[in-house]
Amino acid sequence: MSQSAQPEPVTDVPLLEMRGISKSFPGVMALDGVDIALFAGKVTALIGENGAGKSTLVKILTGIYAADAGEILVDGAPVHFANAQDAIDAGVTAIHQETVLFDELSVAENIFLGHAPRTRLGFVDWKAVNARALALLHSLESNIDPRIRLKDLSIAQRHLVAIARALSVDARIVIMDEPTAALSRKEVDDLFQIVQRLKRQGKAILFISHKFDEVYEIADHYAVFRDGRAVGSGELAGVSQDEIVRLMVGRSIAHAFPKAEVRLGETVLSVEAYTHPTEFRNISFALRKGEIFGIYGLVGAGRSEICQSLFGITRPSAGRLVLEGREIAIRSPGDAIGAGIVYVPEERGRHGAVLQLPIYQNISLPSLSRTSRSGFLRAAEEFALARKYAERFDLRAAALSVPVGTLSGGNQQKVVIGKWLATQPKILILDEPTKGIDIGSKAAVHAFISELASEGLSIIMVSSELPEIVGMSDRVMVMREGLSAGIFERDGLNPEALVRAATGNAGIQP
């Protein structure tokens, strides 16, 4: 369908090929011998859940990480990327979700920032900068004046500038990492026209997206990753969405999770038509005693935002909250803690723990009024409280007075959860509770989440990891673009249905 205008003969040799690429991080095998090939004038869609290894692959391809094993071939010849510049020199460029641009600089300056052509005296050659920017924008069939300031452009035009910037390094291989995540449908259409132009110019494009409709619209080939392995690839034509979804999630899930069967009690919290001006609308659900209520959805679907409003970080603009039969208003984290609602945030180091302070001071921080006497600290009480939760969660630390920042991710999470349990809450909200935690500790975190639920604590768990959501939850609410896309009962929990609801393909017949 795409007759290449390039003089080079159409062959089966991929423009870029990665063979047997492996990369491991402490405790995690991020990529395990994956193969992927990109062809000139073709778009290859890379599909996979969060944590499947897509970002690691992109980082290896752009020279940010070095692979532990495997080889990269450009035009059939092996290359080695020791750093980002090597990748650029080999013609690889990436357009990220949010490319940083500068409002006060001109379009041309934004495009050539950091690699502007220079005169013999070493000054920036403005004539060349503007001329080359103009040529680049023309090749994208745009008539933006390269001399105007970026702040005078529309969002779609800015996107074009970001793409022009990526192409300004003479790229032949273009990686687009979820480029449509923040775009409206109209902007997506504009972007796809640009992709078509790039195809006509004979560039090889790696297109990463969660959205199946977009993948089918733009891609020629596909590659599916799961748990760091390439589990399927080929021509997209003739492959159904259901096949792709099955490749993404296809595995037995239940056995790895220690979810105890809990007899659910009465309703503890009911959220009624909760609405935020920008992040979510009309969210309603009821949480029962001893229940693990999962919230699944793509990044940006509004999952964390609803949790943060339940914890008083942001305020809803409409909606009611009923806790144990009484309507309550939560205006601050203090209100939430007082009501027995606590929140383990996604970003442990930024929001969850004060990494520089000792373990015992982190655990006692929200409980100071109980460990102290008339406002004065009592270290013995604080140590006793910390010891209780350290022993309960089998915390691994040299002493209770070492800073939390010196612990591993899994142990940091134990401290954060311990700090909240010490407040004796009724409802525990967990936002991506095992993010960045190695596999061994993940199982331990899952085990005690399950144990807490069986002791009668009600848990709201946000997760992007399907196995975790399916394996741990009693019920799951799927969110898409700020709206609830359905609540699924445990009996009917089916990973494929969750993915379909989250990506907006609910209409597709199974």
Partner 1 sequence: MSTMQEKRNIPDRLGTSTARLLGSWEMLLLGVAILIFIANAFASPYFLNAWNLSDATFNFTEKALVAFAMALLIIAGEIDLSVAAIIALASTAMGAAAQAGVGSFGLVMIGIGVGLGCGIVNGTLVSVLRLPSIVVTIGTMSLFRGIAYIVLGDKAYGGYPDSFAYFGQGYVFWVISFEFALFVVFAIGFAILLHATNFGRRIYAIGNNEFAARFSGIRVERIKFILFLLTGLMSGIAAICLTSRLGSTRPSIAQGWELEIVTMVVLGGISILGGSGRIGGVVIAAFVMGLVTFGLGLLNVPGIVMSIFIGLLLIVTITLPILIRQIRQRATA
Binding site for partner 1 (CB under 8 A): 311, 313, 332-334, 336-337, 343, 345, 350-357, 360-361, 365-366, 368-369, 372, 375-377, 383, 387, 390-391, 394-402, 419
Q: Which CB sits closer to partner 1, 177 or 431?
A: 431
Q: Of 495, 449, 502, 494, whose CA–CA distance to 472 is shortest?
A: 449
The residue among 41 and 425 lying less far from partner 1, judged by its C-beta, is 425
- Type of residue found at 382: E
Q: 181 or 443, CB closer to partner 1?
A: 443
Q: Which is nearer to partner 1, 13 or 402 (CB)?
A: 402
Q: In terms of Cα–Cα distance, which of 309, 334, 311 is closest to 319?
A: 309
Closest distance to partner 1 from the beta carbon of 320 (Å): 23
CA pair distance 379, 437, nearest whole angstrom: 30
Convert 240-261 to b/e letters by CB count within 10 Å (16 or more is b).
Answer: ebeebbbbbbeeebeeebebee
Kindly tell me which of 225 and 389 has the beta carbon lying closer to partner 1.
Answer: 389
Q: How far is residue 262 from each of residues 85, 417, 451, 452, 468, measured CA to CA in Å?
A: 55, 21, 10, 11, 17
What is the nearest approach in angstroms of partner 1 to the Cβ of residue 206?
A: 33
CB of 298 to partner 1, least distance (A): 24
Residue 94 DSSP code: E
Task: For the CB of residue 346, give the shortest distance to partner 1 in the complex, in Å.
Answer: 11
Q: How far is the CB of 303 from partner 1 (least distance, A)?
A: 17
What tokens were used for 62? 């752009």
Strands 16-25 and 283-288: unpaired
CB-nearer residue toward partner 1: 117 or 334:
334
Q: Which strands sit side by side in the sheet containing 173-177, from one edge to the other?
A: 92-95, 173-177, 204-208, 43-47, 221-226, 229-235
Minimum distance between the CB of residue 297 and partner 1, rounded to whole angstroms?
22
Least separation in angstroms between CB 148 and partner 1: 32
Q: Rounded to the nearest whole angstrom, what is the least distance from the CB of residue 396 to partner 1 in the complex?
A: 8
User: CB-wise, 319 or 366, nearer to partner 1?
Assistant: 366
Helix (H) / strand (E) containing 496: helix 495-503
Find the shortest distance in angstroms from Cβ 462 to partner 1: 15
Pick 205 or 416: Cβ nearer partner 1: 416
Q: Are 450 and 247 in contact (CB under 8 A)?
A: no
- Residue 125's CB: how many other CB atoms inside 10 A? 17
Query: Does an H or E element contain 337, and which?
Result: helix 333-339
Helix 495-503 × helix 241-249 angle, to 10°? 120
Nearer to partner 1, 295 or 395 (CB): 395
What are the CA-CA distances from residue 108 to residues 62, 133, 420 (Å)?
24, 5, 51
Instruction: Give the three-class secondary structure for 478.
Output: strand
Find where tokens 């359905």 sit: 486
